[in-house]
Amino acid sequence: MKQFDIPEFYRSPVIGKVKAKRKLEDPRKQNFSPTPLDFGKISFLIPRHFGFCYGVENAIERSYKAIAENPKKRIFLLSQMIHNPDVNKDLLENGLTFLQDTDGKQLFPFEELTSEDVVIIPAFGTTLEIENKLREIGVNIDTYNTTCPFVVKVWNRSEKLGETNHTIIIHGKYNHEETRATFSHSSSNASSLVIKDMNEAMFLGEYILGAKSKMDFISYFAGKMSESFDPEKDLIKIGVVNQTTMLASETQEITEYLRSVMIEKYGSENIKEHIADTRDTLCYATNDNQSATIELLNYDADLAIVVGGYNSSNTSHLVELLEQKFPTYFIKGKDEIISESEIESFNIHTKSIERHSNFLPSKQNVKIIITSGASCPDSIVDGVIQKLLGYFELENSIETVLEHL
């Protein structure tokens, strides 16, 4: 795996050693058990996979490279580089300007760009419409295009499906940057439809089986279909691809459900003519992080802390998994830990910040699961660990614990 050149302050002496040891012991990523860090009165369970992925590290490296290589030019980020406030804040402090927010709202007019300006495409990629607009201005969008290769893989698979007259079913959040980009690329090659979850997949299945009318379908999926989408002819052959930050298990569940619908309608002997095998579009990093989080559910802990940006899709799914078993707190970093008794956490269901009292239990030995999303630097996780350690008398020093990993 390539080693990326990213600023040192993104790295962590604690988490870095844990990851290095696991990589040495398990280079093929076969063991998903967590790593325990036992300090005596407080201990942590660190999952096998978490934090920066290939696509994120690549995006960060190329963004700082753009800054270093263009000292006299205006440098723009199309939108947030990744969904982490600390990373984006540092890039802005280094002189970059956002062209859009995460919803696609214009913050800086395209009309004021020139061919001399540098524009960085974020890891999520962008739409063909925006690509074409920037090229018309004369902006070079290839040198610093940081679109994740796994996102590009989904686009390429969609193109292949279009060539065989499959309609593309995108499992994703319609307004997410990556889904908007994937929808733009897929709909240029084939009829395309975005579904958010199993409920929407079941509505789609009910239409295919004749339990819903065409008007029901058009009303339900308004704004989520490609132009001139005709459900009567566009749902005979389908293929499911995903927004790479969605739950891989949910994408697979949706695909298997739609496969069963097609079998019911057309018969198992004809299934290959009606739904494509698209398991190869799942992002390995998202899948590994989610599998490692699911493994944590087999262990005992007093609480779980998930660190990352509140608008990060993949991070919210880690919260969703952990809260099935543990009191789970979703925080941006150490500053959300107000004291040893209070913490401010983001509620993924109400989309609001909540303050919790007595989040650390009053007991002899407290065990905490701690993990982070794919866009969260290890240094921020390290800061959370260090702050929590400050509330306890340690029986084992950090150095001792790391020596005995």
The DSSP bridge partners found for residue 357 are 342
Four-residue CA torsion sign, 246, 247, 253, 255: positive
Residues 6+ apart with CB under 8 A from 143: 66, 118
The catalytic residue among 57, 131, 177, 178 is 178
178 is catalytic: yes
* Euclidean distance between CA atoms 302 and 325, whole angstroms: 10
Q: What are phi and psi of 128, to 5 degrees?
A: -65, -35
* CA 95 to mean position of chain CA atoms: 26
Are residues 235 and 208 in contact, defined by beta-carbon separation less than 8 angstroms?
yes
* Euclidean distance between CA atoms 197 and 250, whole angstroms: 8
The DSSP bridge partners found for residue 344 are 355
Active site (catalytic) residues: 178
